Structure 1
Amino acid sequence: MSGSETTTGPKNTSAGEFVSMRVERAEGVAEVTLLGPGKGNAMGPDFWRELPVVFGELDRDPEVRAIVLTGSGEHFSYGLDLPAMLPSWSEYLSGGALARPRREFLDEVRRMQDAITTVAKTRKPVIAAVSGWCIGGGVDLIAAADIRVASADARFSVREVRVAIVADMGSLQRLASIIGEGHLRELAFTGRDIDAARAERIGLVNDVYDDRDAALAAARRMARDIAANPPLVVQGVKDVLSVNTEQQVEAGLRYVATWNAAFLPSHDLNEAVQAFLQRRDPEFRGE
């Protein structure tokens, strides 16, 4: 574990105005900070709409050579903002959905998948600095980054199984090449939480730092080191490293989107939603 260190971050704010994230640029580095608006930077409609816009702009900006991705406040992200997203899925999740709502839900899943994939496909290296909780969709997001660092208080969870959902935003497709099949299957089957020390041991994060400021400072320093290198060569390295995995990831994302469009509605899913809203433990029946 590295000692604490501080450094000033980017100061030049993006001209774009976003609700769910803040973008700052300076010295070849862009810093994207998740803002919510949900508690714990939960991922609601604003996030899914704005993420591809932000990373599309950064990909096209010739002045940006590296990107730091972090969360505001104590936590990186609680993941999907379930209460905010449920109303638009109500017809599909009723359990009696016919072809049209199932097709509409499939399109929605693919749209959300594409938003996360924008992070993976940006030509600029992305470094995620994680503090506090990083749950569900938060793990999907950092799995799409190139490099991850964390503070000692960071906690990670591929938690979808605990709410009767097959994770469908990229964790199941991208994490195997990062942490290995065995660790991924354990996390995805159990939905258990792991701390920063375990995350470092299995390779989910490169390094762990004393606190949020130190982790963010390390990510910024790494981004500046990357930005100092020839940009076309850096982008070429990322392209070459990604060529063996992205086709497999794309196929896996299409498969899980179709799976969830067909099988997601269930008694157990409704029970998970009600238990979440009522703040109680669910009772799953396998139906």
Structure 2
Amino acid sequence: MADSYESLSVEIDGHIAQVTLLGPGKGNTMGPAFWAELPVAFEALDADPQVRAIVLTGSGKHFSYGLDLAASSDFLGPLMAEGAMAGPRAAFHRHLKGMQQSITAVADCRTPIIAAVQGWCIGGGVDLISAVDIRYASADAKFSVREVKLAIVADVGSLARLPLILNDGHLRELALTGKDIDAKRAEKIGLVNDVFDDAEATLAAARATAAEIAANPPLTVQGIKDVLDEQRTAQVAASLRYVAAWNSAFLPSKDLTEGVTAMFQKRPPEFKGE
């Protein structure tokens, strides 16, 4: 059985569902359709008693390039306008809370989720995989909490959930530098569980783990996940609330304009702290 959306596809085979990111932008970028459809898809899977495990992957060579900035002008543009007052900031805050909830719908899914990551996993891609239970990577996978390079405080989940996954020093290094790391480094610091030769082997491993989980008593599996999640729910929610308010107040800057412009012009940015 398969369900199709614009930004992702859902295929169910027995007790295992596979969710594949489709873009439609290059590198499975996360545009308006993604943010709207992701919670719908995962809430439907959560409500389906036949689905006992979920595999999450990307189509093509990459998992996701992250937020589609070109398609985000509707909510970023008014905020970046000089002299933006309370109205644009409040509208941005509402929009950001909705985006946060889209990723939270993945984290709140009672069905265990295994991510199979190939190629680039940038920004919003890291937000997404931080919300799953188990992460596998192909040898060509590369990861980046890159928001700092655009003068943005990552605000959709990475800074809320990665502290529960990574050592504090490793997380701060990733978030403060915006550097790229390869799959070997990601495994070493605990961002991914295992690394496999290629995308096909990674997906096969994710499906094998999903099958192991699906063979266990489903209500007990849900109970294990619920008990483990209870230890982090309040902490994550508080962090998301705080960063939404922080960015609504402080995100607009000349550095943000410079960061976005430099990215589209494919040149190094020149930040001035303004």
TM-score bin (small chain): over 0.9
Q: Is 2:31 the partner of 1:28? A: no
CA–CA distance in structure 2, aligned partners of residues 90 and 131 of structure 1? 32
Q: CA deviation at 1:97?
A: 1.2
CA–CA distance in structure 2, aligned partners of residues 222 and 246 of structure 1? 25
Residues 83-106 of structure 1, C-alpha deviations (whole Å, 9 max, x = no match): 011233211111311111111100
Q: Which aligned runs of 4 or more in structure 1 are off by greater than 2 angstroms?
A: none
Partner of 1:248: 235
Residues 140-166 of structure 1, C-alpha deviations (whole Å, 9 max, x = no match): 000000000000000000000000000
Residues 143-194 of structure 1, C-alpha deviations (whole Å, 9 max, x = no match): 0000000000000000000000000011111111111111100100000000
Pairwise mapping of residues 121-136 of structure 1 onto structure 2 (< 5 A)? 121-136=108-123
Partner of 1:6: none
Partner of 2:164: 177
When normalised by structure 1's length, the TM-score is: 0.94
CA–CA distance in structure 1, aligned partners of residues 41 and 80 of structure 2? 30
State the SS of the aligned residue for 2:165: helix
Q: Is 2:245 the partner of 1:264? A: no
Q: Which amino acid aligns with 2:258?
A: E
State the SS of the aligned residue for 2:27: helix
State the SS of the aligned residue for 1:25: strand
Partner of 1:13: 2
Structure 2's unaligned 5+ residue stretches are: none
In structure 2, which of residues 90, 94, 97 is the aligned counterpart of residue 107 of structure 1? 94
State the SS of the aligned residue for 1:280: coil
Q: CA deviation at 1:279?
A: 1.8
CA–CA distance in structure 2, aligned partners of residues 118 and 272 of structure 1? 30
Which deviates more, 272-281 or 131-140?
A: 272-281
Which deviates more, 269-278 or 46-55?
A: 269-278
Q: Which amino acid aligns with 1:270?
A: T
Root-mean-square deviation (CA, aligned residues, Å) is 0.7
In structure 2, which of residues 6, 12, 29 is the aligned counterpart of residue 42 of structure 1? 29
Structure 1's unaligned 5+ residue stretches are: 1-11
Residues 169-220 of structure 1, C-alpha deviations (whole Å, 9 max, x = no match): 1111111111111110010000000000000011111000000000000000
When normalised by structure 2's length, the TM-score is: 0.99
Q: How many residue pairs end up in the alignment?
A: 274
Pairwise mapping of residues 89-108 of structure 1 onto structure 2 (< 5 A)? 89-108=76-95
Q: Is 2:196 the partner of 1:209? A: yes
Q: Is 2:223 the partner of 1:223? A: no
